[in-house]
Amino acid sequence: MKVTIYGSGYVGLVTGACLAQVGNDVLCVDIDPRKIEMLKRGESPIYEPGLTDMLRANQEAGRLRFTLDPAEGVAHGLFQFIAVGTPPDEDGSADLKHVLAVAESIGEHLEEYRIIVNKSTVPVGTGDRVRQRTAEVLARRGVNVEFDIVSNPEFLKEGAAIEDFMRPDRVVIGTDNPRTTELLRALYTPFNRNHERIVAMDIRSAELTKYAANSLLATKISFMNELSNIAELLGANIEHVRTGIGSDPRIGYQFIYPGAGYGGSCFPKDVRALEQTAIQSGYTPELLHAVEAVNFRQKRKLGDKIASHYNDQLKGKTFALWGLAFKPNTDDMREASSRVLMEWLWEEGARIRAFDPEAREETARIYGTRDDLLLCETPEEAISDADALIVITEWNMFRSPDFDAIRQSLKEPVIFDGRNLYDPGFLAKQGFTYYSIGRATARP
């Protein structure tokens, strides 16, 4: 099948590469010349495990191409996927200017039947707005061309996006036309062979499903972080509590890990957008507000522990920071807990020696060259002559380090762990003062 995808960011590239991988003819359209040139050279503008190899393989096979020309995109694909960004507006609501700009471009060049598929995460009612904008442009042109609107939200985890697309838990298709449902079902047939994964519904329900899923997952994280703060005050161990409640199949183990707060491009933005949607509809979403409030506070939890340990005397201190990305297996630093912590440490007069296996370039892009930030090539370089070690992203390479080498490199054997990677009793025996989340401080 012929597929056009507008937007060559995270969702657009993963969708395009995976659809091409199963034999479709995919054309990706973007307005950024630099990005298109990178992609034509076989280079990915984002880090996602396995993505670069898949992009190159499908380009070489002729199933995946890139262009700046929207007219070419409209002419190419029966399926017109919109996968552009919906950044938060000042009030937290989703900004739809990019989505509606694509709808306008499609309307300007539409000559025959097309299916316009919203892959971007959008508020309920966006399908109606895309339909209206496209129809307005067609009317202005004085042409009458049939088209359909579909909501097909993505459920991709950064760091595991290809696996999620190729073996999805579900494929949500929101339509108001049974014919369109069947056409989307045919497109997704290669990903639907083991058992039925298509969940068909109306457009507005599909739009709400995406926000509901992310908001519920964010709620689980904030609940566990709230519980971890209570556990510390009560002298309980949150990791034991997590195991105890996770064994209940009604709860499960996923997304109940306490830590330094959630980040990324989805959870923070989507919780706020759903909150604003509710407010605009005349409803006060108290739980959604609390989820964000807890997360805001949790991102400052490690800073509180650091300030307490040093009696608020941080000026001139140097901290080794392991992890910069908001989660492992990505270079994405949007809403990352590391950014909140670093910016606070800088305000307090501290210096940072940071290492992340993928996000150093993104960190340099965000912060530029600073005297109080050294981006290191190895974890060992980061801890060299630092006052203490802070762990804030749970990369696998941090899970079993050489603690003897860490103790010898640090000025003091102190670790602040925002992801509970290590055993407090073991570190105490190794001579460390060890701070974690929802557990008592371990001391030698």
Is residue 266 part of the annotated active site? The answer reads: yes
Residue 86: φ, ψ to 5°: -125, 70
The two structure tokens encoding residue 110: 């539409």
Which residue, 275, 277, 156, 263, is CA-closest to 218? 263
Q: Give yes or no for a contact between 24 and 61, defined as CB atoms under 8 angstroms apart.
A: no
Neighbouring-strand partners of residue 3: 26, 79
Find the Cα–Cα–Cα–Cα dihedral 274, 275, 280, 285, rounded to 10°: 120
Backbone region of residue 125 per phi and psi (left: phi > 0; alpha: psi in -120 to 50; beta: other values): left
Whole-Å CA distances, 308 to 27, 171, 225, 302, 416 = 55, 48, 19, 10, 12
Please tell me the distance from the alpha carbon of residue 225 to that of residue 437, in angstroms, as a whole number. 8
Name residues whose C-beta falls within 8 Å of residue 8's C-beta, 6 or more positions apart in sequence: 16, 28, 29, 30, 32, 35, 36, 39, 45, 66
- Asked whether the CA dihedral 175, 179, 181, 184 is positive or negative, the reply is negative
Count the alpha carbons within 13 Å of 251 in the hemisphere toward its beta carbon: 16
Per DSSP, the three-state class of 69 is coil
Q: 18, 28, 266, 376: which is the annotated catalytic residue?
A: 266
Residues identified as active-site: 266
